[in-house]
A and B are shown apart, each in its own frame.
Chain A
Amino acid sequence: MTSKVFKDAEAALFDMKDGVSVMSGGFGLCGIPENSILEIRRLGLKNLHAISNNIGNSGRGLAWLLKEKQISRATCSYVGGNPDLEAQMLANEVEVTLVPQGTFSERIRAAGMGIRGFYTPAGHGTEIAEGKESRTFDIPCLLELPLAADFAIIKAQKGDAYGNLWFQETARNFSPLMAMAARVTIVEVDECVDVGEI
């Protein structure tokens, strides 16, 4: 088996191209794959579809790519604390799809787990229900579909050569879900440990 361990983000992101969809783990700036994001900035990739809860925060993280106009579409749940995204959204420079956070995480989980759709009450009776199939069980629900991506970039505190990962405290968030929902997952770790240590 060819080793999947790369020495840095430049080596690991060798096949990322303009126009791809990229899931990025992290909640706010907690658990974000900083080095991979900086490498995407260095590569100057354009027309990206970013899928991430916050698309950066306080000018950092994916906001680095917003500032360079590298993101044309964004799927996320929260804009607060991200002035770059709010400004580009209101100016129609980035096409933003806001998704309730539980639906966002479950759609990513569904993509990774092979679930073709699910019903949830979140968003019923609001404008995000527009155009969605609804069905009443005990309460009215909306049909939501899986959310997959070409790439996932995530951060873990420890990892091994087989791709086993360990996350510290709340740094886990969306990352393990994204790792299963993307065609290619790139993880950056603080520490690459021997197989068997995790």
Chain B
Amino acid sequence: MGELNVSDSKNCWSKNEMVDQVIEMLNDGSSLNLGIGIPTLVAQRIPPEKGIWIHSENGVLGVAGRPTPESVSATLINAGKETISVKKGASFFDSAMSFGMIRGGHIDVCVLGGMQVDAEGSLANWMIPGKKVTGMGGAMDLVHGAKLVIVMLTHFSKRGEVKLMHRCSLPLTGKRVVHKVVTDLGVFTPEGAAFQIERLAPGVTEEQLGMSDSLISY
């Protein structure tokens, strides 16, 4: 399996280049929730002129990225428990209001990490039975609440297994909920039976994706 893993090759996108793929999908002025891990990098690369409002489910709308040494506050964090800064006009609220914003459809886009995503648009990202439990946190609410659900993940696991599959084998976070998938090799749309390839990183070929023909729609 190891030789299938091309994520180390120079052709794949860096994390920042993956983030830029996500940023291209955002309409100016939209509200955006960012999951723990790679998605939090999005906050630091969004051009301010896009006027995006970043929501963090622990109770803040208007996240601006990392704090300065002067502005850092122990009571000002994001969902990844990192200290943050906020932009002018940011607001704070309790967790029920925060998830009301999510469940009620007031958050336009959410970006989550994932362990597996499948062609039906189902996502698994909260546990590996008997081995690892991270918990779902807000992910099960987010995947049903946001209008556009984007999953960011490395194309291959450390063991060289493709994370894009026909059916997730791990416990689901949500069924048929994902709209776009960004990996270090490309951007994909789950279409039910297979994934549509939206674009590939420069120099990456379909053969390098490690996906069978039946998993790619033409």
Contacts and interface: CB of A to CB of B under 8 A. Distances in A.
Interface of A: 27-31, 53, 57, 76-81, 86, 89-90, 98, 100-106, 108-109, 120-128, 139, 157, 167-177
B195 interface: no
B7 interface: no
Interface in B116-159: 122, 126, 130, 132-141, 144-145
A88 B189 CA distance: 39
B137 A126 contact: no
Interface of B: 36, 56-60, 73-77, 79, 81, 92-96, 98-100, 102-103, 122, 126, 130, 132-141, 144-145, 171-176
A80 B95 contact: no
A28 B76 CA distance: 12
25 contacts: A30-B75, A57-B81, A76-B135, A78-B135, A80-B137, A90-B133, A100-B139, A100-B141, A101-B57, A101-B137, A109-B96, A120-B141, A121-B144, A128-B136, A157-B75, A168-B73, A169-B73, A169-B76, A169-B92, A170-B56, A170-B58, A170-B59, A171-B75, A172-B92, A177-B95
B189 to A, nearest CB: 20
Nearest to B57: A101
A78 to B, nearest CB: 4
Nearest to B79: A27
Contacts, number: 141
A102 B97 CA distance: 9
Contacts of A100: 136-141
Contacts of A76: 135
Contact of B103 (A30, A98, A122, A174): A122
B86 to A, nearest CB: 8
A30 B77 contact: yes
B75 A124 contact: no
Contacts of A79: 133-135
A175 B94 contact: yes
Contacts of B56: 170
A171 B74 CA distance: 9
Given A57-B81, A100-B140, 6 more contacts: A78-B135, A79-B135, A100-B136, A102-B103, A169-B76, A177-B94
A103 B103 CA distance: 10
A157 B173 CA distance: 35
Contacts of B74: 30
Contacts of B139: 100
A168 B77 CA distance: 11
A170 B75 contact: yes
Contacts of B81: 27-30, 57, 81
A85 to B, nearest CB: 9
User: Chain A CB within 10 Å — which of B60, B95, B136, B139 has the most?
Assistant: B95
Given A105-B99, A108-B96, A80 B175 contact: no
Contact of A89 (B98, B99, B133, B174): B133
A78 B138 CA distance: 8
Contacts of B135: 76-80, 98
Given A122-B103, A122-B140, A122-B144, A170 B92 contact: yes
Contacts of A53: 95
A127 B171 CA distance: 7
A69 to B, nearest CB: 19
A90 B103 contact: no
A31 B58 CA distance: 11
A105 B93 CA distance: 12
A128 B60 contact: no
A101 B103 contact: no
Contacts of A157: 75
B174 A125 contact: yes
A167 B92 CA distance: 10
